[in-house]
Structure 1
Amino acid sequence: MRPSLVLAALGVTQILGWGTAYFLPGVLGPAMERDLGLPAGGAFLGIAILLGLAGLLSPIVGRAIDRYGARVATACGSLAFAAGLVLLALAQGPVLAVVSCLVMGLAGALALTEAANAALATLGAEGARRRLGLLALASGLSSAVTWPALAALEAAFGWRGAVLASAAAHLLVALPLHWICIPAAPRGARPAKLPGGRLPARLRWLSAAFTVQTLVGSAILANMVLLVQALGMDRASAIWWAALVGPAQVAARALDVLGGSRFSAVTTASAALLLIPLALLLPLVAPLGIAVAAPVFVLTYGLASGIMSVMRPACVIELHGTEGYATVAGRVMAPVTGAMAIAPGIFAPLLVALGAQAALAVAAVAMLGGFALLRVAARMR
């Protein structure tokens, strides 16, 4: 299978997958909440359910991908996404909506980032980091592509029609791409055998580092508008600057694709994990007004966090290799996905209780802990 074809197919399916799962409540949430009797913001609880279940299932799915191949897993993920979205469109209350989120959690484990990275890993270690970066670039466009499409579909057919159209897209677009373009498992493929059933120590340290980074990073990202506003910027300006996090993340991924491979993945990740706490502390210590400090903080944070989305799978390949990647990555990334699910709800009360300055200081200290964990993993190679 040509690497460029695999990469292009995964780029399309990742945009579709993230756009109709993680980003769906951003457009359809208010209408869904009114119809389903959910409290304001309740639609976003579905994201926590989806990601939490995907994290729990990732070790099992990783072993299955190594045994049966990414083609089978991602194709089944497309079917599960379609089924979950149909259930959501049919829901008349919270119960069936929660069931739909559970089905999409299974779909996420089978077809979103970790499964896509495993498919790329089957193409070999040479050029893997560049392919991971290009896929992350495509994924970063998900909201920009799907939000306008979902808004147009809602205006024409209502939120249920938009959800059904999303299900159809998984069946008519993602499913064929996964089945035709993703490599099948090689003959005799087996899951990686881990000594004693445990990850090697360096990968356990790596998992801990990434879990801390994701816990802090997802918390900051989800609450960026409230955080910048709490630092003293008016709401309209806070929204405008916070929105630039996404473009900054995409720019960082593009820079890594263009020239980042001259540094090892662990070195690049270490630099990013040092840059993030500096960005978090900048509004507290820099002799600048909030009108300058907040934008610099947002853009610096966006660049560093964008790099980390590529470095997580790249570091796994660098420290382990591509043989049995899905099994190992599933174990490494399971707590990371769980952290992504719970982080936004943890940081918001912290921000209210302690204030922006103290919350940023706590986050910076935690991120420095993540840097220390990563350096331990690096020394164990």
Structure 2
Amino acid sequence: MTEAATAPAPSGARLTVTLLGVAQIVSWGSSYYLLAVLAGPIAADTGWPLAWVVAGGSIGLLVSGVVAPFVGRMIDGFGGRPTMAAGSLLIGAGLTGVGAAPNLAFYLLSWAVLGAGMGAGLYDAAFSTLGRIFGSSARRAITNVTLFGGFASTVCWPLSAFAVEHLGWRGACFAYAAVHVLVMAPTLFVLLPREDRKPPPYPSAAANCDAASLSKDRTAFLTLAAILIVNGAIQTTISVHLLTVLQGQGMSLAAAVAIGALIGPSQVGARVVEMLVGDRLHPTATLLCAGVLVAMGMALLALGAAPSAVAIVLYAAGNGVWSIARGTAPLALFGPERYPVVMGRLAAPNLVAQAGAPFIAGISLASFGASTVLFVLATAAAANVILAAFLARASTRWR
């Protein structure tokens, strides 16, 4: 059976993308973005230290990184339909535990369960699923799913705030858990396309396992892994500490919040542009463009050479495109037949870096100040541009 024979019809493709897009909004909003709204109420109600409440999210990211290679193998062997449905069940179980937590230890353990669900339910698993369904033509589907995902905080932060006001933070967790267990898990399991037990060989991929081919694969994997790790660390550091950094530069809290609000629209706008013109570029070139935008934003923010709003828009636009490129570049470099396993292996160190970076940055902010932290982040972003340029140049020789 060929790849074209396994791809869903256009109407089925639209359903698949819409379903996974909605799943990303719900999954990101009830896990990664949850504590932005609930951390304060949890700490105030329980008396647990706010730092430990927030640490739940870091534990979730850490666990999601640990399980990512296993999730990739599961999608490779059994498909995304049962794997992503199981991810929703795990997120629901973790949220139930968080909402019912009688003490801090139980709360943190529940975040570990939630993190396992994140590993099987967020972008990396969704991209791997799209790769299994659409093969080498998954790029447009990946872009469209990220357009949905870009609205996760926009949709779920107000919903979370409304639920906390009317149900309390525990009730908010239970409500999200019910959505995952009763709606998302069965819907994903029933409506996602069934896939072959094992994906067929990609017709254009040569069965070439000589030393040169293996060396190219190893170089591409290590370079891409390094790029994703560095950008993941930058992204989570900014997402957690942006307001602190901007206030450290002398900005008022209200102004910092207003500038931070530009991130979401800038990310979605950049993804729309990528959807319209991205097919003209190889995914590694798109990765390079994303890296340049992030580096420009970080450099302008560190140097104070432009209004902070301009710097944040550039940075956010780069991250918006990056979300797409980190799904499409591995597909182009390694082919759809290895894509789920490669995505799992790439996700593991990236998510671990995302879990640890905000903690290290918090210590650095307290010890050295915002300017030093911004300089380090800008330097790391510039190094990423060099790595991305190397990968884009090398990929033209490998094609």
TM-score (structure 2 length as normaliser) = 0.88
Which of the numbers 315, 340, 344 marks the counterpart of 1:301?
315
Matches within 5 A, 1:130-209: 130-189=140-199, 200-209=218-227
Q: Say if 2:116 is the partner of 1:106.
A: yes
Code of the aligned partner of 1:52: L
Query: Against the structure 1 CA distance between its residues 153 and 320, is the aligned structure 2 distance closer, same or farther, given a 3 Å change threshold?
Result: same
**Residue aligning to 1:237:** 255
Note the alpha carbon deviations across 1:228-272, whole angstroms, 9 max, x for none: 222222221111112211211111111111222211211121122
Code of the aligned partner of 1:214: G
Contact 1:153/1:162 (<8 A) preserved: yes
Which of the numbers 360, 367, 372 marks the counterpart of 2:386?
372
**Residue 316 (structure 1) shift:** 0.6
Code of the aligned partner of 1:181: L
Residues in 2 aligned to 1:15 and 1:179: alpha-carbon distance in whole angstroms: 17
Code of the aligned partner of 1:377: L
Contact 1:220/1:347 (<8 A) preserved: no
Contact 2:242/2:260 (<8 A) preserved: yes
Note the alpha carbon deviations across 1:268-318, whole angstroms, 9 max, x for none: 211221232222222454655xxxx21111111111111111111111111
**Residue aligning to 2:5:** none
**Residue 4 (structure 1) shift:** 0.9
Q: Which moved more, 1:106-115 or 1:357-366?
A: 357-366
TM-score (structure 1 length as normaliser) = 0.92
SS at match of 1:38: coil
**Residue aligning to 1:88:** 98
**Residue 124 (structure 1) shift:** 2.6
Query: Against the structure 1 CA distance between its residues 30 and 359, is the aligned structure 2 distance closer, same or farther, given a 3 Å change threshold?
Result: closer
Code of the aligned partner of 1:227: V
Code of the aligned partner of 2:264: G
**Residue 125 (structure 1) shift:** 4.1
**Residue aligning to 1:361:** 375
Residues in 2 aligned to 1:316 and 1:41: alpha-carbon distance in whole angstroms: 36
Q: Say if 2:81 is the partner of 1:63.
A: no
Which of the numbers 34, 38, 45 marks the counterpart of 2:55?
45
Residues in 2 aligned to 1:75 and 1:209: alpha-carbon distance in whole angstroms: 30
Residues in 2 aligned to 1:280 and 1:159: alpha-carbon distance in whole angstroms: 35
Q: Say if 2:30 is the partner of 1:17.
A: no
Residues in 1 aligned to 2:241 and 2:264: alpha-carbon distance in whole angstroms: 14
Which of the numbers 239, 249, 269 marks the counterpart of 1:221?
239
Question: Runs of 5+ in structure 2 lacking a partner?
Answer: 1-7
**Residue aligning to 2:275:** 257
Contact 2:263/2:312 (<8 A) preserved: yes
Contact 1:28/1:150 (<8 A) preserved: yes
**Residue 47 (structure 1) shift:** 1.0
**Residue 9 (structure 1) shift:** 0.7
Residues in 2 aligned to 1:272 and 1:85: alpha-carbon distance in whole angstroms: 34
Code of the aligned partner of 1:205: T
SS at match of 2:296: helix
Contact 1:203/1:377 (<8 A) preserved: no
Query: Against the structure 1 CA distance between its residues 83 and 285, is the aligned structure 2 distance closer, same or farther, given a 3 Å change threshold?
Result: closer
Code of the aligned partner of 2:236: S
Which of the numbers 5, 13, 20 marks the counterpart of 1:3?
13
Q: Which moved more, 1:84-93 or 1:117-126?
A: 117-126
Query: Against the structure 1 CA distance between its residues 331 and 39, is the aligned structure 2 distance closer, same or farther, given a 3 Å change threshold?
Result: same
Query: Against the structure 1 CA distance between its residues 286 and 152, is the aligned structure 2 distance closer, same or farther, given a 3 Å change threshold?
Result: closer
**Residue aligning to 1:119:** 129
Which of the numbers 247, 259, 271 marks the counterpart of 2:265?
247
Q: Which moved more, 1:124-133 or 1:221-230?
A: 124-133
**Residue aligning to 1:310:** 324
SS at match of 2:63: helix
Contact 1:66/1:326 (<8 A) preserved: yes
**Residue aligning to 1:35:** 45
Query: Against the structure 1 CA distance between its residues 246 and 173, is the aligned structure 2 distance closer, same or farther, given a 3 Å change threshold?
Result: same
Contact 1:154/1:162 (<8 A) preserved: yes
SS at match of 1:295: helix
SS at match of 2:133: coil
Query: Against the structure 1 CA distance between its residues 171 and 260, is the aligned structure 2 distance closer, same or farther, given a 3 Å change threshold?
Result: same
Residues in 2 aligned to 1:309 and 1:29: alpha-carbon distance in whole angstroms: 26
**Residue 188 (structure 1) shift:** 4.2
Residues in 2 aligned to 1:181 and 1:345: alpha-carbon distance in whole angstroms: 40
SS at match of 2:250: coil
Aligned Cα RMSD in Å?
A: 2.4
Code of the aligned partner of 1:103: V
Residues in 2 aligned to 1:226 and 1:286: alpha-carbon distance in whole angstroms: 16
SS at match of 1:236: helix
Contact 1:230/1:356 (<8 A) preserved: yes
**Residue 44 (structure 1) shift:** 1.7
SS at match of 1:200: helix
Contact 1:154/1:161 (<8 A) preserved: yes
**Residue 66 (structure 1) shift:** 0.6
Contact 1:68/1:189 (<8 A) preserved: no
Code of the aligned partner of 1:294: S
Q: Which moved more, 1:166-175 or 1:26-35?
A: 26-35
Count, aligned residues: 377
